[in-house]
Amino acid sequence: MIADPFRLDGKRAAVTGGGSGIGQAIAHTFAARGAAVHILDVNENAAEQAVRDIGRNGRATAHRCDVTDGAEVERVFGEILQEGEIDILVNNAGVAHVGSLEQTSPDDLDRLYRVNVKGVYHCMRACIASMKAHGGGVILNMASVAASVGIADRFAYSMSKGAVLAMTYSAARDYAPHNIRVVSISPARVHTPFVDGFLRANYPGREQEMFAKLAATQPIGRMGTPQEIADLALYLCSDQASFATGTDYPLDGGFLRLNT
């Protein structure tokens, strides 16, 4: 029996979108469990604040990185790899969009594709050769329940997360012989700053009412928390999950299976 499971001692992890929300929780959790964490975020101030928050509780470094820019991704990951291998890549950076097909402009679709799809591609591509060369690694992609079921007014977002799911399965198949595990997490609604901002912008004066309605769409009766996603991420990226690859893990309060 392992006395202290789910440790990441000696591991180096890169977390995109690590300056806020789910990514921040993952970065904090990984650092607290022994990993040296590289926090990548398009908002450099947020990344640096996340590093300060981790403080003496772990090791973390901030990097400004726009995942839509392939050259910038290659440069940032190249700098990280000069210091040592990346054992864990968490592709968490992403953006949302609310709207049906008719309410989704070509620019909206392109923006979701650039961040949510091409951003994941850029980061996986920047790491994969190094992981192969040093004998393995773990790639964790953040998908969504929207990748698996129809959700009203989420046309572009569902498209992008469906692509993340397909990339996860494909890469897991291709790189299993190289001891590289590729998995994804599909959260339902999680209470992040994005949710609060969305409610303020779209339902001024009705924030609490609409929050309750969104929370009730999960059969469990509430939204998830960033820490709950981070705890699953910790397991999936630890050695205790060494048999897990090519699988999506819904963490959804019963959304996928219990809603009728």
Cα separation, 91 vs 123, in Å, equals 7
Q: 213 CB contacts (<8 Å, ≥6 apart)?
A: none
**Residues 220/253, Cβ–Cβ less than 8 Å:** yes
**Position 2 pLDDT exceeds 70:** no
> Tell me: the pLDDT tens digits for 191-244?
998 899 889 988 999 999 999 999 999 999 999 999 999 999 999 999 999 999
In the chain the domains, ranked by start, together with CATH numbers, are 12-188+225-248 (3.40.50.720), 190-223 (no CATH)
Q: Please list the active-site residues.
A: 157
Q: How confident is the model at residue 198, as a pLDDT? A: 84
Q: 23 with 67: CB under 8 angstroms? A: no
Q: Check if the beta carbon of residue 184 is closer than 8 Å to that of residue 219.
A: no
pLDDT for the residue 1: 55
* Per-residue model confidence as pLDDT tens digits over 19-42: 999 999 999 999 999 999 999 999
Give the Cα separation of 145 and 161 in Å (integer): 8
- Proportion of the chain above pLDDT 90, given as a percent: 94
CA pair distance 108, 100, nearest whole angstrom: 11
With contact defined as beta carbons under 8 Å apart, do 73 and 64 qualify?
A: no
Q: What are phi and psi of 217, to 5 degrees?
A: -70, -20
Q: What is the pLDDT of residue 201?
A: 87
- Tokens, residue 141: 């992609």
- The answer to whether 186 and 252 are in contact (CB under 8 A) is yes
Count the neighbouring beta carbons within 10 Å of the beta carbon of residue 239. Answer: 12
Q: Which two tokens stand for residue 214?
A: 């969104």
Distance CA 247, CA 172 (A): 9
Q: What is the pLDDT of residues 93-121, one digit of tens each?
A: 999 999 999 999 999 999 999 999 999 99
DSSP SS3 for 130: helix
The whole-angstrom separation of Cα 147 and Cα 133 is 32
